[in-house]
Structure 1
Amino acid sequence: MTLTQTQALIAPDAPVARGPRTPRRASWRERAADPIFNAIAIGTLLVAIAAILYPMYFIVIASVSEPAEILNGNVWLWPKGFTLEGYTRIFSDPTIVRGFANSVLYTVVGTAISVVTILFGAYALSRRDLFGRRVLMLVFLITMFIDGGLIARYLVVRDLGMLDTIWAIVLPGAVGVWNLIIARAFFENNVPNELREAAQLDGADDFRFFFTIVLPLSKPLIFLMIMIHLVANWNAFFDALIYLSDEAKYPLQLVLRNVLIQSEVTAAGGSGALDSYAAAQRLGELIKYGMIVISTVPLLIVLPFMQKHFAQGALLGAVKS
C-alpha cells in the first residue's frame, strides 16, 4: 500500500498529498513572445534616443565645422574643416560675459520669487478653511483665458516704475496659473487635514506647520517648480526686448541675438563686396551654431541632477493618493 492510499484510509476527508507537478512546457509562441517584445521595445527606445541626441550632437559638430561642408551635406558624424572661429568671435565680444552674468542673475532671482510665491499661494488655496478660496481660484483661472495684451502690460510696468530694471523681467510672469494649479493639487492630495490637526494639538501654528512639515514633504514639488522656472527664465528674452533699453542689462539670449544680427551685416561694406558678404554669411553660420551650444550647456549641466525629483513631482501632483 502506498503512502497516499494509507493517508486516504486514515483521513478520508483530508486532502491527499500529491507529488510535485511537472511544470508545463511553454509553447514556442510563449517562449518567443518575451524576446520579440523586448527587441521591439529596445529598438523603439534606441530610435527615440537617437532622434533626441543626434540633433544635439549635430549642433555641436556643426559649430566647429566649415559652413560650406554643412551646406553640402558632408557633416554627419564628424566635423569637417575643423574651426573654432565661431566661438572665438562669440567670446571676443565682452558683452557675452556680461549677458551670461545677467542671465544667471535673472534666472536665480526670478526662479526664487516664482517658487516662493507659488508654494505660499498654492498651499493657501489648498486649505479648505480659507474664506473665498473658490472666488480667488476663479480670478486666477480667468487670467488664463483673458489677457490685457502687450500694450496694457507695458503700461502697467511703466507706471510701476519698473522699466529698465530687473523687476520688469522677474515680476510680471512670476506666478504661472498652471503651475499654481499643479502645486495646489499636490498639497490637497499629499498633505491631509488630519496631519495639520495633529500638529495644532501639539501647539504648532500655521507657519510652523508649513515650514517644518509641509515643505519637507514637498521636495518633489519644489524641485519640479525649480526646474520649470529655471528653463523658462533662462530661455526668456522677449520681456527683456520689450522692457529693457540699456544694453548692459541684456540677458544672454538677447545678446547672442544681437551678435548674430551684427555678424550678418558687418563685412558687407557695399553692394559689390561679394567676398565680404560671403565671409559674413560664413561667420554668421558659425556663430548661430555656437550660440545654440553656449545657451544650452548650462541647462544640460543642471537639469540631469534634478531629473528624479522632476518625475516624482509631476506624478504626485497629478495622481491622487
Structure 2
Amino acid sequence: MFSRMTIGEKWFQVFAVMFIAGLSVLFVYPFIHVLSISLSTPSEAIRPGLHLFPQEFSLEAYRKAVSSTQIWYGFRNTIFRTVVGTVLSVVVMVMAAYPLSKKYLPDRRFYTLFIVMTMFFSGGLIPSYMLIKSLGLYDSMLVYIIPSLFVTFSLLILRNFFIGIPQELEDSARMDGANDIRILFSVVLPLSAPIIATITLWSAVRYWNEWFQALIYIQDQTKIVLQIYLRRLVVENQDMELRMLMSQQPGQETVTPETVKAAVLMIITGPIIIVYPFLQKYFVKGVMIGSLKE
C-alpha cells in the first residue's frame, strides 16, 4: 500500500509516524524514569541524567513502602471503592440510559435536557459538603461510591448507543412475550459489550484515581484511599511518615524519600496499567458508535 502512495503521501506518512513516535517517547519516559528510580539504590537514584533502567538493582524501596499499615488500608479501601462503585455505577447508568433511548418515553427530551444541564451547572463545594453531612455520608465508606454513581457524559454515550440498536430486534422479542426488562438483559446488553466495557473502564479509572472526596469527607485514617496516602508523601511531603518508612534495621539497605515515593507511585498506578490493555480494544468501537447517533 505504501508503494502506491504519491511522494507527498509518503512524506506525510513518514512525518506522522515520527511525530507519533516522538509523542510516545514523551509520554512513556516519565513512567520508565519513575520505575527505574523505584528499583534503584539511593546512589543510583540521585545520579543525574536519563534513568531508563536501574544500574544498581534494589527492591528495598518496595519493602519499605509495603511495610506501612497505611498503604494496606489504602489498598483495601481503594479496591472496595473501585469494584463496588464501578459495578453499581454501570448498573445505574444502564438503567437510566435505556428508557431515555426510547422515543415512546413521555417527555424524553425534557428529562435528557435536565440531565445534560448537570454537566454545566453544579451546586458548588459548600452545598455539596452540607448535603453529604445531612445524608449521613460524612466519614463513611459510602461517600466514596454514592456521589459518583452517575456521570452525565457516560450516560449520554450509553443512551446514544442504545438508540443505534435496530428497533426490529426489540419488536421481535416483544412479539415473543418479552417485557422491557427481559429485552434489556437478553437483547440489548449482549449487543452492547463494546460500550459497556468502555464505560466500565472509565468508571474504574475514575473511582481508582479519585482523591478529593477522601480529602474533605474522611477523617478516620483507616478509611483513607491510596491516592491520599500518595498525596501525603509526594505533595504534602510528610517528613514524619517518610522517616518511619526509612527507619533502618540492622543489615538492611538504605532508602531515600525519592525511591520510596517512586515505589509507592508504581504500586498505585500498576493495577490500572495492567487492566487497561485488556479493555482498550473496545474504546474506539464503543465510543464511536455511541457518540454520533440521535
TM-score by length of 2: 0.85
Tell me if 1:211 matches 2:161.
no
CA contact (8 A) 2:233 2:242 kept: no
Following superposition, the deviation at residue 268 of structure 1 comes to 10
Amino acid aligned to 1:63: S
Secondary structure in 2 aligned to 1:316? helix
Correspondence for 2:94: 119
1:157 paired residue number: 132
- Asked which structure has the greater RCO (Cα within 8 Å, sep 6+), the reply is 2
Q: Are positions 1:309 and 2:278 aligned together?
A: no
- Deviation string 1:263-306 (CA, Å, 9 cap, x unpaired) is 6423999xxxxxxxxxxxx8322222222211111011111111
Query: Which deviates further from its counterpart, 256-265 or 171-180?
Result: 256-265
C-alpha spacing 1:239/1:41, structure 2 compared with 1 (3 Å): same
Gaps spanning 5+ residues in structure 2: where? 244-254
CA RMSD of aligned residues (A): 2.7
| 1:318 alignment partner, SS class | helix
1:220 counterpart (146, 169, 194): 194
2:265 pairs with 1:296: no
Q: Secondary structure at the match of 1:295?
A: helix
Larger Rg: 1
**1:275 maps to what in 2?**
none
What amino acid is aligned across from residue 303 of structure 1 in structure 2?
Answer: Y
CA deviation vs aligned residue, 1:90-129 (integer Å, no higher than 9, x gap): 1111221221111000000111111011111111111111
1:156/1:268 CA distance change after superposition, 3 Å: closer
User: TM-score, normalising length from structure 1?
Assistant: 0.79
Secondary structure of the residue aligned to 1:228 is helix
CA offset at residue 88 of structure 1?
A: 2.6
2:77 aligned with 1:99, yes or no?
no
**What is the identity percentage for the equivalent residue pairs of Structure 1 and Structure 2?**
35
Residue aligning to 2:151: 176
| CA deviation after TM superposition for structure 1 residue 247, in Å | 0.8
> How many aligned residue pairs are there?
281
